[in-house]
């Protein structure tokens, strides 16, 4: 086994965190900003990329870090290693309300494909790369689904889902249509494409976007009910406008109040 073998426990319901138990010299990698707490004898250091190619020299480190730029992530990740005696624990928290999903890569043929911002942490030795689309349509219209991350190896990885998580087992040839932002990830055998919604009314008045993702089995698909982009958009729409003065935003009175006070101009 190339990846470090780690034990874990997930706590909480809506704002979860995962606690990883490390034997001496075992380590995990995580995206910056996901750390929650750790025992005293766990050391933390910043590394290029995911650390999976440390034995391949400087060039391997550069390649591992450079591929992360294409997904919009940082060149660096954080490594947490047990430098003491006995078992030690380190915890990572969800960035927003949702669920943490443990992914045992040995059950999925050593590869899992996910949204670029879904990855939370993984055992050292797991590789975090990019999954390029082979069809141009996905690139132009796929939104979040154009460049996806691929998690490869034989260890444990953890991804985050916004809201409630649904797991779908697709039979061979079975197809599932999903909003592109609602995809968490899927196994490597699932065929992924982008389809046009169709219909003039749907296109201009439907409010659900022009395209959706079409996933065809066999394989496992994880779906989230609340993508972060949707959450951020709702928060932005509900945020007070005009310097934060509360006049009943979202109501007719609030709009009239903005005009009278001069906070809203035509």
Q: What are 29-39's pLDDT values in tens digits?
A: 998 888 999 99
Let me know if residue 245 belongs to a domain: no
CATH number assigned to the domain comprising residue 98: 3.60.160.10
**Could you give the CA distance from residue 129 to residue 108 in angstroms, rounded to a whole number?**
16
**Max avg pLDDT among 20-24, 146-150, 228-232, 259-263:** 20-24
Let me know if residue 258 belongs to a domain: no
Let me know if residue 135 belongs to a domain: yes
- pLDDT at residue 192 in the model: 87
Question: How many Cα neighbours within 13 Å face the side chain of 100?
Answer: 25
- The residue-averaged pLDDT of 190-215 equals 66
Reduced DSSP (H G I as helix, E B as strand, rest coil) percent helix, strand, coil of the chain, to 5:
20, 40, 40
User: Which region among 36-40, 155-159, 203-207, 223-227 has the lowest average model confidence (pLDDT)?
Assistant: 203-207
Q: How confident is the model at residue 247 (pLDDT cuts 50, 70, 90)?
A: very low
Let me know if residue 240 belongs to a domain: no
**Could you give the CA distance from residue 7 to residue 39 in angstroms, rounded to a whole number?**
15
Residue with tokens 């993702």: 213
Let me know if residue 217 belongs to a domain: yes
266, pLDDT greater than 50: no
- pLDDT at residue 59 in the model: 58
- pLDDT at residue 115 in the model: 85
Q: Domain tally for the chain?
A: 1
138, pLDDT greater than 90: no
88, pLDDT greater than 80: yes
Let me know if residue 2 belongs to a domain: no
**Pick from 55, 79, 51: which is nearest to 65 by CA?**
51
Residue span of the structural domain in which 16 resides: 7-233
Q: What predicted TM-score, i.e. pTM, was given to this entire model?
A: 0.76
Helix (H) or strand (E) holding 87: none
96, pLDDT greater than 90: no
**Could you give the CA distance from residue 24 to residue 253 in angstroms, rounded to a whole number?**
63
Let me know if residue 78 belongs to a domain: yes
| Mean pLDDT, all residues of the chain | 78
Let me know if residue 160 belongs to a domain: yes
């Amino acid at each position: 086994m190339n990846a470090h073998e780690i034990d874990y426990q997930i706590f909480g319901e809506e704002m979860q965190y995962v606690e990883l138990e490390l034997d001496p010299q075992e380590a995990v990698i995580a995206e910056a900003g996901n750390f929650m707490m750790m025992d005293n004898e766990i050391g933390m250091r910043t590394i290029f990329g995911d650390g999976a190619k440390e034995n391949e020299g400087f060039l391997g480190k550069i390649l591992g870090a450079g591929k992360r730029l294409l997904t919009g992530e940082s060149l660096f990740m954080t490594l947490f290693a047990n430098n003491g005696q006995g078992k030690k624990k380190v915890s990572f928290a969800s960035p927003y309300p949702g669920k943490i999903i443990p992914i045992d890569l040995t059950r999925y043929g050593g590869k899992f494909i996910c949204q670029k911002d879904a990855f939370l942490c993984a055992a050292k030795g797991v590789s975090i790369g990019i999954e390029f689309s082979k069809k141009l349509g996905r690139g132009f219209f796929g939104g979040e689904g154009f460049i996806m991350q691929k998690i490869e190896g034989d260890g444990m990885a953890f991804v985050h889902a916004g809201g409630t998580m649904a797991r779908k087992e697709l039979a061979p040839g079975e197809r599932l249509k999903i909003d592109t932002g609602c995809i968490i990830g899927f196994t490597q055998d699932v065929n992924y494409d982008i389809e046009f919604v169709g219909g003039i009314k749907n296109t201009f008045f439907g409010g659900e976007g022009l395209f959706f993702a079409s996933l065809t089995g066999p394989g496992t698909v994880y779906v989230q009910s609340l993508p972060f982009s949707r959450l951020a958009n709702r928060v932005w729409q509900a945020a007070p406008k005009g310097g934060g003065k509360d006049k009943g935003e979202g109501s007719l009175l609030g709009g009239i109040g903005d005009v009278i006070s001069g906070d809203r101009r035509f």
